[in-house]
Structure 1
Amino acid sequence: MSTSIIGGDSKITGQNEIDFVECDCCGLTEECTLSYIETVRERYKGKWICGLCSEAVNDEVLRCEKQKLISPDEAMARHFSFCNKFRFAGPPPDPTQHLITAIRHVLRKSLESPKLMRSMPSSPSKNVDKKLAGLTLSESCIPSLSLVDASVCCGMDEDCE
C-alpha cells in the first residue's frame, strides 16, 4: 500500500488512510493509519505516544508497582517530564565533557550496587558463606591434546612421517 502525503494531509488509498503523527513526548514522527492513531489517542487521553514512549510508560507503572502503585496517568506525566528535560535542554556546550560526565555517572551508579561476580568464584561477596568463597578449579577444563594419535593426523599436513 503506497501513499503520497503532501503538506501533512492524508490521502485515501484503497482501504486505509495513512497520516504522519508526532509523539507528544519525544517528538518522533511516525506514519500510521488513522484508526491506529485514534486507538492510541483513546488509550492515552487524547495524546499521541509513540511505541517507545508507550513502553517507557508501561515500564514506569511496573517498576513503581513494587514501591507504591501509581496510575498510568501519573506514569505518563513522569515520562513527559523526563522527555521534556532532554527535548528543551539543547545540545551540551562541550559534548566531550558531557560524555565523560555521563560515563562517570553510569560508573558510579554501577559501583554503588555491586553485583555478584560470577566469572570469579573466589571473589568475596556479602551473601556467600566464607567457606564457599575460596572455591577454585581443581583441574583444567581443556582436555589434553597430547593423546591425539599421529596416524589420524596423517594426511592433514605435508610433513607427516
Structure 2
Amino acid sequence: MSTSVFGDSMVKITGQNELDFVECDCCGLTEECTLSYIETVRERYKGKWICGLCSEAVNDEVKQKSISPEEAMARHFSFCNKFRLAGPPPDPTRHLITAMRQVLRKSLDSPKFIRSMPSSPTKNRGDISMGLTRSESCIPSLSESVCCGIDEDYE
C-alpha cells in the first residue's frame, strides 16, 4: 500500500480504490471516502459534499416538511452555521443531561406502535408449531421469597 500527498489532502491507494479525506461543507466532520463516492455525493448535492449525518438530516427535512431538497439543504446549512458560531456550551455535562432528558421525554410522549409480528420467531412444520412462549412471570415468586423470609442467607 502506498500513500501520496496531493495539496492539503492525503490519498491512500489500496488496489484500485483511492481514498481521500473530505470535510463536510455543513458541519465540518471529516470522513475518509473513495473518490468515486465523493463525486457521487457532490453530484447529488449540487457540488457540495455533505457527510452521512447531514445527508440524513436533509432527507428527513424533505420527508417531514414536504419541501424541496434545495430548501432543506439551505435550512440545514443555516442550522449548522448557527451551531458552529454558538461555540461549545458553558457546562457540557449539564448540556448533555438536558439533551438526554429531552430525548427521553420525546420517546415517552410518542405513540407506541403496535407490532403485527409476534415477539418471538415461529416456524411451522406440518401441524407442529415451534416457537418460544413465556408461561408466566418469575417476578411474583422472587418477591415472595424475599418478602416472606425464605431467603435467610441475605439477612
TM range, normalised to the smaller chain? 0.5 to 0.7
Distance in 1, matches of 2:72 and 2:39, equals: 21
**Alignment identity in percent?**
72
1:39 counterpart residue number: 40
Distance in 1, matches of 2:111 and 2:60, equals: 25
Change (3 A) 1:16 1:58: same
Contact 2:26 2:77 in 1 (8 A): yes
How many residues align? The count is 116
Contact 1:3 1:18 in 2 (8 A): no
Change (3 A) 1:93 1:34: same
* 1:15 Cα offset (Å): 1.6
- State the SS of the aligned residue for 1:32: strand
Pair member with larger Rg: 1
TM-score by length of 2: 0.58
Structure holding more helix per residue: 2
Structure holding more strand per residue: 2
1:78 to 72, 75, 78: 75
Change (3 A) 1:9 1:103: closer
Change (3 A) 1:102 1:3: same
Alignment of 1:100-119 (within 5 A): 102=99, 106=102, 110=106, 114=109
Runs of 4+ in structure 1 displaced over 2 angstroms? 2-7, 9-14, 93-104, 113-117, 141-145
* 1:40 Cα offset (Å): 0.6
2:26 counterpart residue number: 25
Change (3 A) 1:55 1:96: closer
- State the SS of the aligned residue for 1:35: helix
* 1:10 Cα offset (Å): 2.4
* 1:9 Cα offset (Å): 3.8
1:48 counterpart residue number: 49
Distance in 2, matches of 1:16 and 1:99, equals: 39
2:84 counterpart residue number: 87
